[in-house]
Amino acid sequence: DADVTQTPRNRITKTGKRIMLECSQTKGHDRMYWYRQDPGLGLRLIYYSFDVKDINKGEISDGYSVSRQAQAKFSLSLESAIPNQTALYFCATSDAGQGDEQFFGPGTRLTVL
Amino acid sequence: LAKTTQPISMDSYEGQEVNITCSHNNIATNDYITWYQQFPSQGPRFIIQGYKTKVTNEVASLFIPADRKSSTLSLPRVSLSDTAVYYCLVGDKRDSSASKIIFGSGTRLSIRP
């Protein structure tokens, strides 16, 4: 079984809808991250969490919110989706800080119409 | 911010050795250098990490000169399956440095028969 899983893998939604992307990990890591990737570009950090009680904004947090329900679960929400949030979203975990080896999930492809 | 510069794209042939160089002039004392590989529609995968001199694993070698302002990822005897985007990152493993790591656009490596 994969160490980092994401659900759903693909989602098509309409402008204004609320969407939640979920991430689960079995690596036992405290640190979890949400990234966004647009076609042909690198990954940009949306939010990160060092433990259950810690949530931090990344480079592009506007329009997004997160919830760390447990050590193993980190959810990303789009409260009111807009078309320019169409992208590939990745969850990642690490044992130490962000500069340590990160383990990525398979990604969620989100399309906002 | 620990910014890196790497070639946008490279081409090579099966069986050749490929060297991808990354420039990181403002690398900090506590920063490590990490390389990831990403296939289309998949999450990045850790390849190798180093701090100084040379690191080798079963997949690649990483050469870091004494001033640490650049690094070179070396892939020996590449195959078609090495076609991917390669990202060079520099960053601290301490939690206090999170969100300061940037995934640039990476180097798109194309291997031909």
Shortest distance, CA B42 to any CA of chain A (angstroms): 5
Of A4, A56, A107, the CB nearest to B99: A56
3 state SS of A83 = helix
Of B43, B49, B97, the CB nearest to A97: B97
Q: Which residues of A touch B41 (CB under 8 A)?
A: 88, 107, 109
**Omega of the bond leading into A8 within 30 degrees of 0 (cis):** yes
Q: How many Å apart are CA B32 and CA B53, to the nearest integer? A: 12
B94 vs A99: CB contact, 8 Å cut-off?
Answer: yes
Instruction: Identify the sign of the CA torsion B27, B9, B76, A43.
Output: positive
Q: What digits encode the pLDDT tens for the residues B92-102?
A: 888 666 667 78
Instruction: Select from B63, B56, B106 the least CA-distant residue to B84.
Output: B106
Average pLDDT in chain B: 92
The partner residues of B99 in beta bridges, in order of sequence, read none
- Please say if the pLDDT value at position B110 is more than 70: yes
**Sheet of strand A19-25, all strands in order from the earlier edge strand to the far edge:** A4-7, A19-25, A73-78, A65-70
> Residue ranges of chain A with pLDDT lower than 50?
none
Percent of chain B with pLDDT over 90: 79
